[in-house]
């Protein structure tokens, strides 16, 4: 299920993404000179989430998840989401992706951030499902990702990495959380009661398993999108957080799970 550039925005030069008072400059890999990976293009979900977060209606949410916090982005690609959060007040941001994606990521970071002042932002390799002690030893209060559910073979590794990061050490009273923007594609051909279900449902099922029910995903919003390959032309925004033990026991007692906006 490799993503093709028919889903992507094609640009012939550096582009500027405006989100509220912030501007993020991006260089996409238009001719493959940076390796031509699927992360070298601006995908709709990343831009849609940034625009949604920068809207006045989400000001309180943005303050809650970002201001003064440590943020790690999974599958950062060009780095739009993580760099926007860095400009929006995050204290520290790590943009992670496969090693071959890092040179272009580093180039985009240098185009947006100076070494003096502001957010501390870095680029690092992180392969899903492979324990990374250096990353897991650090405190990550918020994990973010956009359009990372596109290959069924990667879902177990993604679920395990999410679980590991959301159990990273914290000095705060609140536990780590994750914010994901995921198109409602059905390329994995999974069904429930005879109806196709979005591919991201597989991720939530795997996450519930690897976390032993400690993590839950709640849908915050649905963003209209014209991205090809989605069921209802939408991108769903999900918040993954820790369940209280009381809620976890009640949830287990109510199994099997009912349909709704929580998984």
Distance CA 197, CA 107 (A): 38
- Residue 257 pLDDT > 70, yes or no? no
Q: Looking at the domain assignment, is residue 6 inside a domain?
A: no
Residue 23 included in any domain:
yes
Is residue 38 domain-resident? Answer: yes
Q: What are 129-175's pLDDT values in tens digits? A: 998 999 999 999 999 999 999 899 999 999 999 999 999 877 767 79
Q: Cβ neighbours of residue 17 under 8 Å, at least 6 residues apart?
A: 23, 24, 25, 26, 42, 47, 50, 80, 84
pLDDT digits (tens, 9 = 90+) for 92-131: 999 999 999 999 999 999 999 987 667 899 999 999 999 8
- Give a yes or no: residue 260 inside a domain: no
Buried b (16+ CB within 10 A) or exposed e, 108-145: bbeebbeeeeebebebbebebeeebeebeeeebbbbbb
Within a domain: residue 130? yes
Which pLDDT score, from 0 to 100, does residue 255 have? 58
Q: How confident is the prediction for the chain on average, in pLDDT?
A: 85
**pLDDT at residue 6 in the model:** 33
* Residue range of the domain that includes 133: 14-253
Examine residue 64 and state whether it is found in any structural domain, yes or no. yes
Domain presence at residue 180:
yes
* Contact (CB, 8 A) for 137 and 170: no
- 113 Rama sector, left if φ>0, alpha if ψ -120 to 50, beta otherwise: beta
Q: How many domains does the chain contain in total? A: 1
Let me know the angle formed at the C-alpha of 185 by 183 and 191, rounded to the nearest 5 degrees. Answer: 135
pLDDT attached to residue 246: 54
Rounded to an integer, the average pLDDT of 173-192 is 90
CATH number, position 33:
3.40.50.150
Quote the DSSP letter at residue 120. E
259 domain residue, yes or no = no
């Amino acid at each position: 299920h490799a993503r093709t550039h028919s889903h992507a925005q094609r640009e012939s030069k550096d582009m500027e993404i405006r989100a509220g008072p912030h501007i993020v400059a991006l260089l996409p890999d238009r001719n493959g000179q940076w390796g031509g990976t699927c992360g070298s293009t601006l995908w709709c979900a990343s831009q849609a989430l940034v625009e949604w977060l920068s809207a006045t209606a989400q000001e309180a949410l943005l303050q809650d998840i970002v201001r003064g916090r440590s943020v790690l982005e999974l599958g950062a690609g060009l780095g739009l989401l993580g760099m926007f959060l860095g400009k929006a007040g995050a204290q520290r941001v790590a943009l992670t992706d496969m090693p071959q994606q890092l040179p272009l990521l580093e180039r985009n970071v240098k185009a947006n951030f100076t070494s003096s002042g502001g957010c501390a932002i870095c680029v690092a390799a992180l392969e899903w499902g492979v324990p990374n002690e250096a990353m897991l030893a650090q405190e990550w209060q918020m994990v973010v990702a956009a359009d990372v559910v596109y290959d069924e073979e990667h879902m177990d590794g993604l679920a395990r990495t999410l679980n590991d990061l959301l159990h990273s050490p914290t000095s705060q009273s609140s536990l780590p959380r994750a914010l994901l923007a995921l198109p409602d594609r059905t390329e994995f051909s999974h069904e429930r009661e005879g109806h196709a279900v979005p591919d991201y449902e597989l991720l939530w099922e795997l996450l519930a398993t690897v976390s032993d029910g400690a993590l839950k995903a709640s849908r915050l919003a649905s963003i209209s999108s014209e991205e090809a390959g989605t069921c209802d032309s939408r991108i769903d925004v999900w918040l993954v957080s820790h369940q209280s033990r009381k809620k976890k026991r009640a949830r287990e007692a109510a199994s099997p799970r009912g349909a709704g906006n929580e998984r």
